[in-house]
Amino acid sequence: MRGKRTLGAFATVAFLLALSSPLPAAGKHPHIEAALESLHAAKHELESAEHDFHGHRVEAVKHVDEAIKEAEICMQE
C-alpha cells in the first residue's frame, strides 16, 4: 500500500513540476501542454529502465498514464 501511495505521489509531483515549467508551450493551455510533454518523457524513461524494481516501475508507468489522461481532459476545457 505504501508503495502505491509513493508512486501516486511521484506522478502527482511530476505533473505539478511540469505545470511549473518556465518555458510553456504555445497554445490555449501552454502549461498543460508542457506538462504532457514532461509526462510523456517520464513515461519513456520509466519504460526504458532495465530493472523492474519488483513491479514498482510498472506501477509508476500506470500512474503516469493516469496523469496523462487527466492532463488530456484539462486540454479539452
pLDDT, tens digit, 9 for 90 and up, residues 39-66: 999 999 999 999 999 999 999 999 999 9
Domain with 19, as residue range(s), is 2-75
> In this model, does residue 24 exceed pLDDT 80?
no
Confidence band (pLDDT; 50, 70, 90) for 1? low
Average pLDDT across the chain, whole number = 85
> In this model, does residue 23 exceed pLDDT 70?
no
Number of domains in the chain: 1
Reported pTM: 0.66
Exposure string over 51-72, b if 16+ CB within 10 A, otherwise e: eeeeebbebbbebbeebbeebe
DSSP three-state, residue 42 = helix
